[in-house]
């Protein structure tokens, strides 16, 4: 083989790897967009059951074809306090099983059928998918077409890699060089490093399967490269956890322990088998699945990961305890200004991030209403003992107003957002602004209390009764608004309009009653001024709740 031919085959190999990785991202992104509702339902079933957590990890990884994305998403949930360490560990374990599916698909494509080459058959899906995507009018059908096309492009990349590797397998010098790379630690490290660079253990395993299929490396070499890929996939999780909380770091430690422990176990088992007999782990799989080296490696990956999970799952609590010793609790106090449901790592899985944005907005609304009721309580009882909590809540509202919008901007800019989710996210900016204004009006009411205390002003019992009644109506309106926001409830939407009318009627009546009380000298001018301002601000709070109602009912229907 001439130098020009070697360069050509190197370029072919590079092109194959590039096409494969692009196709993999194409499939992953569109699968996530299409299965967004299923992903949300899947993670809604999170419980303390280890089996359920394991199944969630498997299903989520199969749905989006990326165990790294599932791990990063899980770290995000842990950081947001939604998942416990035990729950997160079982989901990560499930992801390790789910990621083996791609290896099985690649092995299937490398089978040499007697009638038609399966790789060519699967590659033809690239054209079929493009046709479907071009003629489809519905967004989901377009994405399904892109998934099918990506599936075909993946096998085109696989074909390029396979072709170049077959050519290299004819070079005796290269085969001799590779055959001498028998240091299992070196093979595992190489697999781990390459996986960390390309951020896909599935892609690294697929490359190893292709190399084994073309005879470029032995099955045993492929096994240790695959074990290294399992370890290398932890890199993404470690990087995600570095900027997250203590429990997020512990989650990445659990994944590291699981994958490094599994690799070391195979190494020790293989060493023991070789010492006691002329056999090895590789020979065992050659005997189990004769004649198909690529299938042997794919089956090793699947059986090894399943067996590892079966062994480790009962020891989940032990792993959690060990991770807590390795990463002790931080001595720093938790920041009051923080996300409760959202985490930057969730951007890896937009479908889940969207559902968490909704929860974060509901949480923001709850905080705003806590402050509203606190301000009403202060002016009724003429004391500000709750000011510290009120101020902390106001700071949190300001943080969420700014940071949540920034997060949504990043989320909206991602390519694999479904049309439905995009429309929802577009409506959130106004919703967040409305909620923030509720907090501002509550802050105004607290200031009215300060002025009444400063000037020794007092509200009459009738005025207090009217304020309490008005606050009750606002709380009713809030409950109906959240029902519309979270569930799109039409009946609550209709009821909310009636309650808002009552708010308007009561505030008008409050102004009339105030004038009558002034004429009877039942309240001071200062108290009356603050009373009217309060009534006006509360009415505007009602308007902002109706704004949230209108916009989100429109989006949900």
State the average pLDDT for the chain: 85
Q: Is the dihedral of CA 453, 454, 456, 460 positive or negative?
A: negative
Percent of the chain whose pLDDT exceeds 90: 36
pLDDT at position 444 is 94
Domain ranges of the chain: 3-326, 344-556
For 487-504, what is each residue's pLDDT tens digit?
888 899 999 999 999 999
Question: How far is the C-alpha of 390 from the C-alpha of 402, rounded, in Å?
Answer: 19
Query: Are the C-beta atoms of 250 and 211 separated by less than 8 Å?
Result: no
Question: How far is the C-alpha of 471 from the C-alpha of 460, rounded, in Å?
Answer: 17
Cα-to-chain-centroid distance, residue 248: 13
SS (H, E, C) 54-90: HHHHHHHHHHHCCHHHHHHHHHHHHHCCCCCHHHHHH
**Tokens 């998942």, located at residue:** 83
Q: Does position 32 have pLDDT exceeding 80, yes or no?
A: no
> Mean pLDDT lowest for which of 240-244, 334-338, 390-394, 524-528?
334-338
**Tokens 């607290």, located at residue:** 446
Average pLDDT over residues 76-81: 75
User: What are the C-alpha distances in Å from 240 to residues 244, 320, 327, 344, 349?
Assistant: 7, 19, 16, 9, 13
For 435-474, what is each residue's pLDDT tens digit?
999 999 999 999 999 988 887 777 888 889 999 999 999 9
Helix, strand, coil % in the chain, rounded to nearest 5 = 85, 0, 15
Question: How far is the C-alpha of 506 from the C-alpha of 473, rounded, in Å?
Answer: 9
Average pLDDT over residues 65-86: 78
> Mean pLDDT lowest for which of 114-123, 126-135, 496-505?
114-123
Query: Which residue did the predictor score with more confidence, 369 or 523?
Result: 369
Average pLDDT over residues 539-547: 94
Query: Which residue did the predictor score with more confidence, 104 or 331?
Result: 104
pLDDT at position 299 is 93
Query: Which residue did the predictor score with more confidence, 93 or 514?
Result: 93
Q: What angle do CA 199, 204, 208 make, to 5 degrees?
A: 170
Residue 469 tokens read as 């009644």
| CATH superfamily of the domain spanning 344-556 | Phosphate transport system protein phou homolog 2; domain 2 (1.20.58.220)
pLDDT at position 43 is 67
pLDDT at position 551 is 74
Q: Does position 556 have pLDDT exceeding 80, yes or no?
A: no
Query: Are the C-beta atoms of 46 and 53 separated by less than 8 Å?
Result: yes
Query: Which residue did the predictor score with more confidence, 1 or 311?
Result: 311
Sequence-separated contacts (24+) of 482-488 with Cβ below 8 Å:
482/362, 482/365, 484/548, 484/549, 484/552, 484/553, 484/556, 485/358, 485/361, 485/362, 485/365, 485/431, 485/548, 485/549, 485/552, 486/358, 486/362, 488/552, 488/553, 488/556, 488/557
For 143-202, what is each residue's pLDDT tens digit?
889 889 988 888 888 788 878 877 777 777 776 777 677 788 899 999 999 888 877 788
pLDDT-derived band of residue 337, with 50, 70 and 90 as boundaries? low
User: What are the C-alpha distances in Å from 401 to residues 33, 137, 430, 525?
Assistant: 27, 36, 11, 36
Average pLDDT over residues 394-406: 93
Query: Are the C-beta atoms of 496 and 480 separated by less than 8 Å?
Result: yes
Residue positions counted in the chain: 557
Query: Which residue did the predictor score with more confidence, 518 or 263?
Result: 263
Question: How far is the C-alpha of 503 from the C-alpha of 507, rounded, in Å?
Answer: 6
Three-state DSSP at 213 gives helix
pLDDT at position 406 is 94
pLDDT-derived band of residue 405, with 50, 70 and 90 as boundaries? very high
pLDDT-derived band of residue 332, with 50, 70 and 90 as boundaries? very low
Question: How far is the C-alpha of 289 from the C-alpha of 283, rounded, in Å?
Answer: 10
pLDDT at position 65 is 67
Cβ burial, residue 60 (10 Å; 0-12/13-18/19+): buried
pLDDT at position 518 is 74
Where are the alpha helices (H) located in 99-218, listed in sequence order?
A: 100-109, 118-123, 125-135, 139-168, 172-179, 184-198, 201-213
pLDDT-derived band of residue 111, with 50, 70 and 90 as boundaries? low
383: left (phi over 0), alpha (psi -120 to 50) or beta: beta
Cβ burial, residue 483 (10 Å; 0-12/13-18/19+): middle
Measured in Å, how far apart are the chain's first and last C-alpha atoms? 65
pLDDT at position 538 is 94
Closest by CA position to 254, among listed 460, 56, 96: 96
Average pLDDT over residues 342-351: 79
Average pLDDT over residues 550-557: 67
pLDDT at position 333 is 41
pLDDT-derived band of residue 36, with 50, 70 and 90 as boundaries? low
Query: Are the C-beta atoms of 553 and 493 separated by less than 8 Å?
Result: yes
Question: How far is the C-alpha of 119 from the C-alpha of 123, rounded, in Å?
Answer: 6
pLDDT at position 226 is 92
For 500-531, what is each residue's pLDDT tens digit?
999 999 999 998 888 887 777 777 677 788 88
Q: Does position 418 have pLDDT exceeding 80, yes or no?
A: no
User: What are the C-alpha distances in Å from 65 to residues 27, 194, 260, 468, 520?
Assistant: 8, 19, 22, 54, 75
**Tokens 């890199």, located at residue:** 235
Query: Are the C-beta atoms of 247 and 324 separated by less than 8 Å?
Result: no
Three-state DSSP at 136 gives coil
Cβ burial, residue 30 (10 Å; 0-12/13-18/19+): buried
Q: Does position 133 have pLDDT exceeding 60, yes or no?
A: yes
Q: Does position 116 have pLDDT exceeding 60, yes or no?
A: no
């Amino acid at each position: 083989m001439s130098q020009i031919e070697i360069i050509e085959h190197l370029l072919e190999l590079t092109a194959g790897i590039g096409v494969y990785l692009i196709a993999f991202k194409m499939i992953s992104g569109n699968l996530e967009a299409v299965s967004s509702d299923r992903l949300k339902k899947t993670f809604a079933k999170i419980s303390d059951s280890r089996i359920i957590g394991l199944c969630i990890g498997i299903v989520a990884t199969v749905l989006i074809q990326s165990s790294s994305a599932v791990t990063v998403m899980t770290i995000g949930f842990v950081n947001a306090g939604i998942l416990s360490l035990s729950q997160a560990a079982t989901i990560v374990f499930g992801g390790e099983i789910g990621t083996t599916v791609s290896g099985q698909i690649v092995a299937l494509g490398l089978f040499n059928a007697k009638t038609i080459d399966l790789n060519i058959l699967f590659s033809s899906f690239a054209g079929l998918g493009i046709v479907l995507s071009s003629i489809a009018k519905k967004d989901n059908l377009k994405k399904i077409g892109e998934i099918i096309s990506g599936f075909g492009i993946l096998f085109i990349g696989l074909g390029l890699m396979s072709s170049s590797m077959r050519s290299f397998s004819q070079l005796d010098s290269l085969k001799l060089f590779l055959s001498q790379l028998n240091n299992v630690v070196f093979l595992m490290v190489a697999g781990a490093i390459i996986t960390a660079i390309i951020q896909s253990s599935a892609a690294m395993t697929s490359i190893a399967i292709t190399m084994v299929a073309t005879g470029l490396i032995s099955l045993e070499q492929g096994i240790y490269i695959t074990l290294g890929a399992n370890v290398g996939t932890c890199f993404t999780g470690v990087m995600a956890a570095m900027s997250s909380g203590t429990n997020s770091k512990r989650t990445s430690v659990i994944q590291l322990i699981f994958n490094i422990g599994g690799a070391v176990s195979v190494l020790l088992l293989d060493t023991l088998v070789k010492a006691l007999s002329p056999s090895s782990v590789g020979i065992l799989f050659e005997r189990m699945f004769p004649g198909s080296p690529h299938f042997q490696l794919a089956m090793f990956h699947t059986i090894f990961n399943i067996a590892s999970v079966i062994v480790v799952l009962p020891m989940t609590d032990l792993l959690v305890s060990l991770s807590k010793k390795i990463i002790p609790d931080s001595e720093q106090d938790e920041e009051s200004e923080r996300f409760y449901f959202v985490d930057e790592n969730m951007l890896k899985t937009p479908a889940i991030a969207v559902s968490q944005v909704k929860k974060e907005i509901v949480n923001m609304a709850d905080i705003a209403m806590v402050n509203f009721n606190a301000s009403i309580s202060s002016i009724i009882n003429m004391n500000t003992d709750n000011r510290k909590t009120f101020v902390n809540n106001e700071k949190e509202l300001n943080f969420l107003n700014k940071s949540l919008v920034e997060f949504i901007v990043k989320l909206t800019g991602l390519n694999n957002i479904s049309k439905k989710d995009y429309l929802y996210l577009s409506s959130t900016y106004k919703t967040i602004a409305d909620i923030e204004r509720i907090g501002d009006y509550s802050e105004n009411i607290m200031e009215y209390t300060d002025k009444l205390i400063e000037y020794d002003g007092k509200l009459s019992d009738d005025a207090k009764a009217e304020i309490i009644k008005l606050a009750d109506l606002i709380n009713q309106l809030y409950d109906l608004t959240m029902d519309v926001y979270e569930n799109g409830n039409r009946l609550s939407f209709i009821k909310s309009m009636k309650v808002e009318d009552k708010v308007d009627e009561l505030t008008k009546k409050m102004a009339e009653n105030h004038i009558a009380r002034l004429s009877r000298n039942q309240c001071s001018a200062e108290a009356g001024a603050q009373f009217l301002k309060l009534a006006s601000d509360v009415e505007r709070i009602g308007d902002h709740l109706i704004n949230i109602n209108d916009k989100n009912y429109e989006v949900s229907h």
